[in-house]
Every structure is written in structure tokens, then in C-alpha cells.
Structure 1
Amino acid sequence: MLEIEVIEDPAAAEASLDPMRTRILRELAQPGSATQLAARVGLPRQKVNYHLKALERHGLVELVEERRKGNVTERILRATAAAYLISPAALASVAPDPHRFSDRFSAFWLLALAGRMVQEMGQLIAGAAAARQELATFAIDGEITFRTAADRAAFAEELGIAVTRLVDKYHDGGARTGAGGGGAPSGPGRKHRLVVALHPSLKPNPPKASPKNTHVKEQDND
């Protein structure tokens, strides 16, 4: 089971967005049968089987084992991942193109970059899983509080300079000769995608105000 599976097929994305199928995927983080699921989600077993077949057809659940009980074979299924993310590839014809913006101060460019990252990471994870290889990644996540907009702009400028300096230092633009006497050319290095993002943190939702008590005085009809 993957930790996160990125859904690229539009039909699979549509199937996963059904509220009951989403519930079934969550329940199948642990293997279960249609009978067990029916008791958990409050649906007839036949209806659960209908949803399971759709999810299995789109590769979102997988068969773990089959158990023979008399004349009946019970199929034990499990979700293919603990969590799912729909890739912009599922909406390929209307997915954002980062090349349309190319403005480092544009919120739309940041969103397009994030969409591209989801799509590319989904493909990389699937390829690494198929090859049974580890995928080398690195990420930094944190928050910064700026006193002023000028401080934020200065930070962004310094960050850009620092990242550019590191890229110039480590970027390998072409083939190299292997180390040692007469080493064979090692060829160009493996390309990596670099995205540095900075955006305001979401504000927490304010607590909902409790409704005020309303007292209605009954009129005396006598």
C-alpha cells in the first residue's frame, strides 16, 4: 500500500469523488470484505459490492486474499493507498500551464507550479514503486512572520540570490569524464526539479458565535 496515490485518470478521479466510495476507501485502509463494509457504512452488501467493483476497476482497491466459506468465496479487499490526491493531469485540457505566467511574484504561477509538482511527483512515485526503488526527494516546510512588507520583499530577494548561487555551484550542464585515469564519460547528471515557495499562511477560522438566547413573552389571550 502506498502512503499517497496520485490519481491521473479522469474516470478514476470521478469514481473516487463519490462520497460513499470515498468512505469505502477510508474504511479499506485495513483489509475487509463487502459484508464487513456493509455493516460499517450502513448499506446492503449488494450495493457495497457495486461500489467496490467500480473502485477495483479503476485500480483504487486491490484484492488481498480470497476465503472459501462453504459454497461462497469471500473476497478481502484493501485500498491501494492510505490517502489519495487528484492530479491536474485528470483535467489535462484545462490544467494550468506554468509557462503562461513565469512571474515569481504571481500567485497564479505558484498555483501552477504546485499543480505541476503534484503531477510529476505522482508519476515519479508510481515509477519508483514499480521499479521497487527509493525516490530521492527533499523538502522544507516552515513559517516566517515578517514585521513589514518590505522585510518580506527583502527576504524573497535574498532567498532568490542564495538559491541562484547554489544552483550555479552545483548545476552540471553537460557530460563529465569519470574520475581516475582514463575513466569513461559519466554522461549528464540526473535532472531535478527545484521549486521554492513562499506564501502567507491560512488564517484559522474564527470560532462561531453562540446564538443568543431569545425569550418570547406569551400574550394572555384571556
Structure 2
Amino acid sequence: MLDVAVIEEAAAAEASLDPIRSRILAALAEPGSAAMLAGRLGLPRQKVNYHLEELERHRLVELAEERRKGNVTERIYRAVATSYVISPSALAAVSPDPSRAPDQLSARWFLALGARLVQEVGSLLTGTSRAGRRLATFGIDAEVRFATAADRAAFADELAQAVADLVGRYHDEAAPEGRNHRMVIGLHQIPAPSSAAAGTSAGPEQQSGGTHTTESDAGQEHRG
């Protein structure tokens, strides 16, 4: 079972978002049959069977084993992953494109960068998983607490300069065997726990001391 599976097809995304099917996916972190799931979830077995067939059709669950009980064969299913991420490619016609209006200070552009990161890394991860290979990535996750907004701005300036220096030092456009990588560095305010639980966006006065997070991730792109 994978830690994370990427859903790239619109039909599969729709299937996973159905409330009953999402409960079945969660329950199948531990393998089970339709009868076992019906008991766990308090649902009719016939309904569970129907939803299992749909989830299997979209490759969100898989057959783990078959058990023979007299004249009956019991099919045991398991989820293909413990968690799922829906790629923006599932909404290809309306997925965010950060190249449309690049603006380092725009939260919407930042969100578009994140969407592109999920789409690109998700696609690469799906391909390498099927080939039985590992995807080369590197990530940094850290928190920094700024005393003032001026400190935050100064930090952003120094970070931008440091990244520009590193990119200039290591980028080799003429390398015949080189592979292109994309690096995304983000800085955003961490919502207070109460705001996150309520699904709301809190202003600076609602935050716990203006805490921030810095995150960097580089995903390998395969060329040719």
C-alpha cells in the first residue's frame, strides 16, 4: 500500500469525493470484504458492493485476496494508499496556471504555484511508481517567527538573493546530459488552530504571534 496516491482523472476524483466511497476508502486501510465493510460502516452489503466496484474501476482500491468459504468466494479488498491527493490535472481546463500573472506578493499566484507543484510531482510520482522506481526530490519544512513585518520583508529579500545566487552558480543550460528541476520556495502565515478547524481564514490579529512557515520542494522532471 502506498503512503499517498495521486488522483489525476476527473472521473476518479469524482468517485473519491462521494461521501460513502470516501468512508470505504478510509475503512480499507485495513483489508476487508463487502460483508466486513457493511458491518464496520453500518451500510447494506449490496450498497457497499456497488461502491466497491466503482472504486475498483477507478483503481482506488484493489483485490488483496480471495477466500473460499464452502461454495462462496469472499473477495478481500484494500485501498491502494493510506491517503489520496487530487491533482489539478483532474480539472485540466480550469486548473491554475502561475505563468498567467506572476506576482511574488500575490496569495493567488502562490496558490497556483502550489497547484502546479502537486500536478507535476503527482504526475512524476505516478509514473515512477508504476515503473518501480523512486522519484528524486528534496524538501525543506521549517517555521520562523518574525518580530515585525519589516523583518519578514528583509527575510524575503535575503532569501530571494540567496536562491538567485545558488541558481546562477549551479544552472548549466548547455549540459548535454542535464535534467531540469523546478524549485518552489514559499512563505505563508500559519492559521491559528481554531481558524483551521473552522475552515476560515484569519487576519494577522487572529494569528498566534504571526508565525510563518518556509517550504521548499524540488521535483525532478524527465526529459526526452
- Smaller-chain TM-score range? 0.7 to 0.9
Q: Deviations over 1:142-197 (max 9, x none)?
A: 2111111111111000000000101111112113xxxxxxxxxxx23111110000
Taking the aligned partners of 1:50 and 1:125, their CA distance within structure 2 comes to 30
2:217 maps to: none
1:181 maps to: none
Taking the aligned partners of 1:73 and 1:139, their CA distance within structure 2 comes to 46
* 2:167 corresponds to 1:188: no
CA RMSD of aligned residues (A): 1.5
Shift of residue 13, structure 1, vs aligned partner = 0.6
* 2:186 corresponds to 1:201: no
The amino acid that maps onto 1:98 is: P
Which is strand-richer, 1 or 2? 2
Taking the aligned partners of 2:90 and 2:32, their CA distance within structure 1 comes to 29
Taking the aligned partners of 2:63 and 2:190, their CA distance within structure 1 comes to 41
1:106 maps to: 106
Taking the aligned partners of 1:35 and 1:7, their CA distance within structure 2 comes to 27
Highest RCO, 1 vs 2 (Cα 8 Å, sep ≥ 6): 2
List, as ranges, runs of 4+ consecutive aligned residues in structure 1 with deviation greater than 6 Å: none
Shift of residue 97, structure 1, vs aligned partner = 0.7
1:96 maps to: 96
2:127 maps to: 127
1:22 maps to: 22
Taking the aligned partners of 1:49 and 1:62, their CA distance within structure 2 comes to 13
Q: Is the 8 A contact 1:172 1:188 kept in 2?
A: no
User: Which one is further off, 155-164 or 141-150?
Assistant: 141-150
2:212 maps to: none
Taking the aligned partners of 1:138 and 1:116, their CA distance within structure 2 comes to 16
1:172 maps to: 172
SS in 2 for 1:169: helix
1:184 maps to: none
SS in 1 for 2:99: helix
Shift of residue 64, structure 1, vs aligned partner = 1.1
Shift of residue 204, structure 1, vs aligned partner = 2.1
State percent identity of aligned pairs.
Answer: 62
Mind listing any 5+ residue stretches in structure 2 that lack a counterpart? 199-224
Mind listing any 5+ residue stretches in structure 1 that lack a counterpart? 176-186, 209-222
Taking the aligned partners of 1:188 and 1:109, their CA distance within structure 2 comes to 32
Taking the aligned partners of 2:46 and 2:193, their CA distance within structure 1 comes to 42
Shift of residue 132, structure 1, vs aligned partner = 1.0
* 2:37 corresponds to 1:48: no
Q: Deviations over 1:92-118 (max 9, x none)?
A: 111111011211111111100000111
Shift of residue 12, structure 1, vs aligned partner = 0.7
SS in 2 for 1:3: strand
Count the aligned residue pairs. 197
TM-score (normalizing by structure 1): 0.85
SS in 2 for 1:102: coil
SS in 1 for 2:6: strand
